[in-house]
Amino acid sequence: MAELKNMTVVTSGKLRKTAYDLLDANTNLLAWKEGGRTPADIFDGWLAQADALYSIGNIKINGALLDKAPNLKVIAQASVGYDNIDVAECNARGIRVGNTPRVLSPAVADLAYGLIIDSARKIARGWQHVASGKWGERKGLGFGVDLAGKTLGIVGMGDIGSRVVKRALASDMRVIYHNRRRRSDDAALGAAYVSFEELLQTSDFVLVTVPLTNETEGMFGKKQFEAMKQGARFINIARGKIVDTEALYDALSSRHIAYAALDVTDPEPLPGTHKLLTLDNITVTPHIASSTVETRDAMAKLAAENILAGLNGEPMPAEVKA
């Protein structure tokens, strides 16, 4: 590795130790050491010196921010999603961009599967029932449904989706999927390719795992929810803006959709007073799909490796292009 101590790396928030140690040993690291985001006045001062930016959270990286960092060469987003970054603008300025795919897939698949189970068995609702002193009134929860024999439709069959397939098959579910392109290994995987329309019409559970793009924003609205089976369950672990929140609320209120389980929302964070949270047929978790110690350490390390490779002019482990 070339000498990079003259290269300045700045962070938009506190680093995990796996990333801090790697970057501190090899670069001139300006890292915020308190909780939360780096304060704006400090961050702006750092950007003026930055050769690389380690992006934590969902900070907006656009032309206005890039103008503050005239020497910037590399941006590493510490997540798989990078819809907060104007990649085309970065590429036009010769700035390389990296993200952290694959390393978070097992943890995200676990949470997705957990939300599928919760949507079927009302686990979170059961806990709320007990905590509010209603154990003896548990019949008010109603019955759940089995997973065995049900059809799971996965929208977006990437690494996360393929891992969910394995978990679903263990529960004796039938799995279908829709992707931009059919996977060549779907038979071996145990999932059948169908059109988006057929998936909506025949799935008992619909899981969304697609990235947020111009094409997928608002992908699930009134028309799509009405096309789903009466009593279907809807799970989203992708991005909140893929779903029209008002349309989802209406579908849940009418009980056309029996239950929704969401790790992402629009808006996000979801206010505690939001009307979605007044419903008794929804579970919402606060965007925690990758929130395990092991996964966050692996993501941090990969983001740091992206920076070091980018500054060295080497292939980045996970580079994004417009």
Q: How far is CA 43 from the centre of its chain?
A: 25
Q: Find tokens 């010769």 and name the residue.
A: 94
Residue of 16, 233, 287, 296 marked active site: 287
State the Cα–Cα distance between residues 303 and 99, nearest whole angstrom.
Answer: 7
Which residues on adjacent β-strands are paired with residue 11?
54
DSSP state of 183: -
State the Cα–Cα distance between residues 220 and 66, nearest whole angstrom.
Answer: 33
The side-by-side arrangement of strands in the sheet containing 282-284 is 192-193, 174-178, 151-155, 205-208, 232-236, 257-262, 282-284
Q: What does the angle CA 137 – CA 143 – CA 146 come to, to the nearest 5 degrees?
A: 150
Q: Known catalytic residue: 178?
A: no
Q: In 10 A of CB 57, how many CB atoms?
A: 12
Collapsed DSSP state (helix, strand, coil) of residue 40: helix
Phi and psi of 178, rounded to 5°?
-130, 135
Q: Known catalytic residue: 255?
A: no
Residue of 167, 178, 233, 239 marked active site: 239
Collapsed DSSP state (helix, strand, coil) of residue 76: strand
Q: Does an H or E element contain 163, and which? A: helix 159-170
Residue of 246, 268, 294, 314 marked active site: 268
Q: How far is CA 187 from the centre of its chain?
A: 26
What long-range pairs does 185-194 form, CB within 8 A, spacing at least 24? 186/157, 189/162, 189/165, 190/165, 190/166, 191/154, 191/157, 191/162, 191/165, 194/153
Q: Known catalytic residue: 239?
A: yes
Which residues on adjacent β-strands are paired with residue 320?
97
Alpha-carbon dihedral 60, 62, 67, 69, rounded to 10 degrees: 60
State the Cα–Cα distance between residues 74 and 78, nearest whole angstrom.
Answer: 13
Q: What is the set of active-site residues?
A: 239, 268, 287
